[in-house]
């Protein structure tokens, strides 16, 4: 697998922490040149310093000009990992349009615009990997997250449509749908809420960012060359 990814360039959004950073590390370990992208320049610089053969670019997926600048700096991208996402939770009854728009703009529209930036070179080269990070809630739903769930479900639909559009040029498009993963967010939850979450997970533990990254690395490799339009669930059995 290392040989198949050597000399490939992987662009990872939301790469300054959590799942995105784990993906960047995994892809670098497989031989890729990795471009880390996120909004926090200080965290990006620190993360990139620890990852061989990597660089970083500032990226705000809610801003089309920022997307264009980031990909112009990155150069040709062979592997795109659409991981960046934001949340603005609230019950639908009281959700402001601004909260809906902000989440969809970053999580879905931003991901689509990022994909557009890499399509021409991928189609020319007749090789490319696009992996969209969805979520278990994109398939199962979750109260109080109508905007976030809609964005993650939209990524799955986008994945399936693009997989059909791009397959003839050997560009695969897949999604990874993590369940509850140990992150900064889950670390701050109350024990009562953690216990409630764990009761819904057959493997009876939260996942690790590295376990999501392993799935992403697989889908980005030549070992997954006959897989496209799929949703790979990394959720401990929470949703089947």
CA 196 to chain centre: 26
Q: Note whether residue 18 is domain-resident.
A: yes
What dihedral do alpha carbons 157, 162, 163, 165 form, nearest 10°?
140
- Helices 64-74 and 110-125 cross at an angle (nearest 10°) of 30
**130 in a domain, yes or no?**
yes
Catalytic residue (one of 11, 56, 71, 148): 148
What is the total count of domains within the chain? 1
Question: For the stretch 93-128, what's the b/e string if a residue is b when 16 or more beta carbons lie within 10 angstroms of its beta carbon?
Answer: eebeeebbebbbbbbbbbbebbbebbbeebbeeebb
Whether 238 maps to a domain, the answer reads no
Burial zone of 187 (CB within 10 Å; 0-12 exposed, 13-18 middle, 19+ buried)? exposed
Contact 34, 27 (CB under 8 A): yes
Specify if 162 maps to a domain: yes
Q: Which residues contact 15 (CB under 8 A, 6 or more apart)?
A: 21, 23, 24, 34, 36, 37, 38, 44, 47, 56, 83
Give dist(CA 132, CA 93) in Å, integer: 29
Give the domain range for residue 156.
Answer: 2-233
Cα 192 from chain centroid (whole Å): 29
pLDDT by 10-residue block (mean), the chain, 240 residues: 77 97 98 98 98 97 98 98 96 98 98 98 98 98 96 98 98 98 80 91 97 98 98 98
Tokens 């040989």 locate to 3
Q: Does 239 map to a domain?
A: no
| CATH for 157 | 3.40.50.720
Contacts of 18 (CB under 8 A, 6+ apart): 181, 183, 184, 209
Q: What is the pLDDT of residue 1?
A: 40
148 catalytic, yes or no? yes
209, HSE (Cβ side, Cα atoms, 13 Å): 20
Classify residue 240: in a domain, yes or no: no
pLDDT the model gives residue 2: 42
Residue 189: predicted pLDDT: 79
């Amino acid at each position: 697998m290392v040989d198949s990814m050597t000399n490939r360039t992987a662009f990872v959004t939301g790469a300054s922490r959590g799942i995105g950073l784990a993906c960047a590390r995994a892809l670098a370990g497989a031989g890729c040149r990795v471009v880390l992208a996120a909004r926090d320049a200080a965290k990006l610089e620190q993360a990139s310093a620890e990852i061989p053969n990597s660089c970083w670019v500032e990226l705000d997926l809610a801003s089309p000009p920022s997307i264009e600048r980031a990909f112009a700096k990155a150069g040709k991208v062979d592997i795109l990992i659409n991981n960046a996402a934001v949340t603005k939770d609230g019950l639908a009854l009281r959700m402001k349009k601004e909260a809906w728009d902000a989440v969809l703009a970053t999580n879905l529209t931003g991901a689509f615009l990022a994909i557009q930036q890499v399509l021409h070179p991928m189609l020319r080269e007749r090789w490319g990997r696009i992996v969209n990070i969805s979520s278990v809630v994109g398939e199962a739903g979750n109260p109080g997250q109508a905007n976030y769930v809609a964005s993650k479900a939209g990524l799955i639909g986008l994945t399936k449509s693009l997989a059909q559009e791009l397959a003839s040029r050997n560009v695969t498009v897949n999604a990874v749908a993590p369940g509850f993963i140990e992150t900064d967010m889950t670390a701050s939850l109350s024990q009562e809420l953690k216990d409630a979450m764990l009761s819904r997970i057959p493997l009876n533990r939260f996942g690790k960012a590295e376990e999501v990254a392993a799935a992403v690395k697989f889908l980005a490799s030549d070992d997954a060359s006959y897989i496209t339009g799929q949703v790979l669930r990394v959720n401990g059995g929470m949703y089947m």
